[in-house]
Structure 1
Amino acid sequence: MSELEVNSAQNRAVKLELQYLPCLEYFTCILQHEQVLIDIEERYVKQTFRNRCSVLTTNKIDVLTVPVKGYEAASPTKDILIDYNQEWIRRHLGCLKAAYGKSPFYEFYASELIDTYGKKPKFLVDLNYELLTICLRLVGIKKEIRYILSGEREDDNGVFNAISLINNKKTQNAFNYYSPVAYYQTFGNGFVGNLSIIDLIFNMGPEAKSVLLRSCESR
């Protein structure tokens, strides 16, 4: 058993950063812990899943990025502002419709997500948290999830710190919490794993959770 597996077995809770429409590994990590602590005071790291996600389009993997306003080095994630001077919402929603408009469950789930973008949250954490909340409900994952600040000592014991552990910098298939389990995807000849949870939700609907559970069990 690896050090990570030992830590996961011993700790009921895990500490994570907020991510934008997170990848499947983020959700399999949540499934493997009883409590999830979202640290909104952790240091913001650019070019990570904090403000980007990957979706599968007609012939490629497309990366969607939420632009943010300038910030000082080592700024906490909770202070990061979304830049609405760029027309990124139209780009993201257009890409999602092009990628998943013909998927089996797009018409059932898309409107709630679209409404969230229409609210134009000021802070990145607010956008990410609302989207995460919606996706958890659509998948059927019920966990104790709450915001924390990095300095909360009461959370130190019995909590595995997985901040930045689920990232887009590592090589493909180098996962800590996830083992790819193929499911129906609208495009492509070969299965692509660990895309945004949106790929799984739009393609599999009510079966999304069972795919995630099997992705945990096959590790």
Structure 2
Amino acid sequence: MVKRIAVDLHYFPNLEFFAAIADAEELIFFPEERYQRQSYFNRTQIRLANKTGTLSVPIQGRRPRLSLQKIKIDYTQNWAKIHLRGIQSAYGKAPFYEYYFPYFEKVFSQNTESLWDLNWDLLTICLKLLGMPVKMRVYNKDEDLSLMQDIRGQLVPSVPFSEREYYQPESYFQLFGLDFDPNLSILDLLFCEGPASKSIVLKSVKKH
């Protein structure tokens, strides 16, 4: 039987996300669900020289009561250039930066209108670079949800990852300082560890 996981779509998901879906063969997404504030749908965390920094994608409208697929990015703010500059500042000296950065730079240059589409494109690239051959698709209303593992609404910024059952930090090389910073954006792992990233994700799956 195919291992399916119902999951939320995040912006440059963190390591807990990839640990949670590590054994999935299919990821099922739900574009018609309502947008929730204080979620990972439009934010991620990266490691800067002396702190952890948050990258947030601005969206149109205040507290929009819309489905996720209808959330539009606010391009009146120069967010794409800010994010690219932030990523460059954080990881420009990382071992695998020059190999992976062009993939993401290309997506940002497309000025994608929908945040859903942007996140979908970025996750597709991240899974490819990780070497995780999981399929991504949208939920079909005729499907039986009981036949898939449903982790929607669980991976949220307001609750520490240590209180959930998916991610156990596995340390790896990071730039800036000696203290390991767990559960950052997948960008941190990819730029710092390159082809070794997948094995580190697998080692970080919480044992039960």
TM-score, with length taken from structure 1? 0.89
User: In 2, distance between residues paired with 1:176 and 1:120?
Assistant: 36
* Equivalent position SS for 2:154: coil
Give 2:170's match in structure 1, choosing from 176, 181, 191.
181
Q: CA contact under 8 A between 1:71 and 1:80: conserved in structure 2?
A: no
Give 2:30's match in structure 1, choosing from 39, 42, 62.
39
Aligned to 1:159: 148
Structure 1 range deviating more: 42-51 or 168-177: 168-177
Q: CA deviation at 1:35?
A: 1.9
* Equivalent position SS for 1:64: strand
User: In 2, distance between residues paired with 1:208 and 1:99?
Assistant: 18
User: In 2, distance between residues paired with 1:172 and 1:28?
Assistant: 11
Give 1:196's match in structure 2, choosing from 178, 185, 197.
185
Number of aligned pairs? 208
Aligned to 2:130: 139
1:89-168 → structure 2 map (5 Å cutoff): 89-148=80-139, 152-168=141-157
Could you tell me which amino acid in structure 2 is paired with residue 104 of structure 1? P
TM-score, with length taken from structure 2? 0.94
Q: Percent identity?
A: 36
Q: CA contact under 8 A between 1:11 and 1:158: conserved in structure 2?
A: no
Q: CA deviation at 1:184?
A: 0.3
In the alignment, structure 2 segments of 5+ residues that lack a partner are none
In the alignment, structure 1 segments of 5+ residues that lack a partner are 1-9
User: In 2, distance between residues paired with 1:23 and 1:16?
Assistant: 13
1:31-110 → structure 2 map (5 Å cutoff): 31-70=22-61, 74-110=65-101
Aligned to 1:206: 195
Q: CA deviation at 1:32?
A: 2.6
Structure 1 segments (4+ residues) deviating >6 Å: none
User: In 1, distance between residues paired with 2:158 and 2:63?
Assistant: 22
Deviations 1:186-209 (A, max 9, x none): 113210111000000000000000
